[in-house]
Amino acid sequence: MLAKRIIPCLDIKDGKVVKGVNFEGLKDVGDPIEIAKRYDQQCADEVVFLDITATYENRDIIKDLIQRAASELSIPLTVGGGIRSLDDFRMILSSGADKVSINSAAIQHPGLIKQAADEFGVQCVVVAVDAKKRKDDDGYDVYIAGGRKNTGIDLLKWVQQCEQLGAGEILLTSMDKDGTRDGFDIEMLNAVLDVVSIPVIASGGCGDKEDIVEVFEKTNCDGALAASLFHYQEATIDDVKALCAQHHIPVRRNL
């Protein structure tokens, strides 16, 4: 069995890691390279940089960060936020990132998934999906624009289309769970895992290291993404992996 991945996510604004709730009340908490290096030393399997104010003017900032990260980190780097074109893919990958995560642009221009997969390889293409259960409990809708716009697209149909177009993996965020810190959305994850064969990363709802063990025990997801748990230093990645190992969950560890 392949080792499960533990992935910290860093929200970046104007070149700094920030914390807040729904992008409000943001506080500068440090340099992304220094924070990512700490996670690298703790044996994170990869790290995600999410450019939350991804405007054209900010592209030089994120490019510089990617180049610095590529020179100082030993783990893979995924970059997302405001990716709209193949040129954005080219800039991010040529700067040293290993993967590019797209969200709204994939919905608006599904062909971008195929174009990117054809040019750069499926292993470089991550489709981030934000979804929420419908009020009638009959399935899930996909949202874009930072969770502000309901596309009306069915989650399960969308992830299947992403796989067919060449997505290498799905980063699935449950909007119902996001920010609650009471555990991942096991039901949603299993529904998606039942219809795709590409890797799925769980996101949204992680409150403690036990939540990560639970998601690996109750689903077949390939990785778990968390932010506050690690940023607030409530647990280290080493702590999480030690607990996973106690539960016989395969993880890569420093020895």
Asked if the structure places residue 46 within a domain, the reply is yes
Asked if the structure places residue 254 within a domain, the reply is no
Asked if the structure places residue 255 within a domain, the reply is no
Instruction: Given the residues 45, 88, 130, 222, select the one marked as catalytic.
Output: 130
Q: What is the mean pLDDT of the chain?
A: 93
Q: Partners of 101 in the beta sheet?
A: 80, 126
Q: What is the rounded distance in angstroms from the CA atom of residue 1 to the CA atom of residue 254? A: 18
Asked if the structure places residue 251 within a domain, the reply is no
Q: Is residue 176 very low, low, confident or very high in pLDDT (cuts 50, 70, 90)?
A: very high
DSSP the chain: -PPBEEEEEEEEETTEEEEEETTEEEEEEE-HHHHHHHHHHTT-S-EEEEETT--GGGHHHHHHHHHHHHHH-SS-EEEESS--SHHHHHHHHHTT-SEEEESHHHHH-THHHHHHHHHH-GGGEEEEEEEEE-TTSSSEEEEETTTTEEEEEEHHHHHHHHHHHT-SEEEEEETTTTTT-S---HHHHHHHHTT--S-EEEES---SHHHHHHHHHHS--SEEEESHHHHTTSS-HHHHHHHHHHTT--B----
Q: Is residue 191 very low, low, confident or very high in pLDDT (cuts 50, 70, 90)?
A: very high
> What is the predicted pLDDT for the residue at 116?
98
Other C-beta atoms lying within 10 Å of the C-beta of residue 178: 17
Q: Partners of 130 in the beta sheet?
A: 143, 173
> What is the predicted pLDDT for the residue at 26?
67
**162/11: higher pLDDT:** 162
CB 184 within 8 A of CB 209: no
Asked if the structure places residue 61 within a domain, the reply is yes
255 Cβ neighbours under 8 A, 6+ residues apart: none
Other C-beta atoms lying within 10 Å of the C-beta of residue 189: 22
Q: What is the rounded distance in angstroms from the CA atom of residue 50 to the CA atom of residue 77? A: 11
* Residue 243: both structure tokens together: 């607990």
The predicted model scores a pTM of 0.94
Asked if the structure places residue 186 within a domain, the reply is yes
CATH number at 39 reads 3.20.20.70
Residue 7 has pLDDT above 80, yes or no: yes
Is 130 an active-site residue?
Answer: yes
Q: Is residue 203 very low, low, confident or very high in pLDDT (cuts 50, 70, 90)?
A: very high
> What is the predicted pLDDT for the residue at 179?
81
Q: Is residue 85 very low, low, confident or very high in pLDDT (cuts 50, 70, 90)?
A: very high
Residue 5 has pLDDT above 90, yes or no: yes
Q: Partners of 35 in the beta sheet?
A: none
pLDDT in tens, 134-145: 999 999 999 998
Number of domains composing the chain: 1
**60/176: higher pLDDT:** 176
Give the highest mean pLDDT range of 148-152, 175-179, 210-214. 210-214
> What is the predicted pLDDT for the residue at 28?
72
Which domain range does residue 206 map to? 5-246
Other C-beta atoms lying within 10 Å of the C-beta of residue 149: 13
Is 211 an active-site residue?
Answer: no
Percent of residues, the chain, with pLDDT higher than 90: 80
Q: Partners of 24 in the beta sheet?
A: 21
Asked if the structure places residue 13 within a domain, the reply is yes
117 Cβ neighbours under 8 A, 6+ residues apart: 124, 125, 165, 166, 167, 168
pLDDT in tens, 18-58: 876 544 556 777 899 999 999 999 999 999 999 887 755 56
Q: Is residue 160 very low, low, confident or very high in pLDDT (cuts 50, 70, 90)?
A: very high
Asked if the structure places residue 252 within a domain, the reply is no
> What is the predicted pLDDT for the residue at 21?
54
> What is the predicted pLDDT for the residue at 23?
47
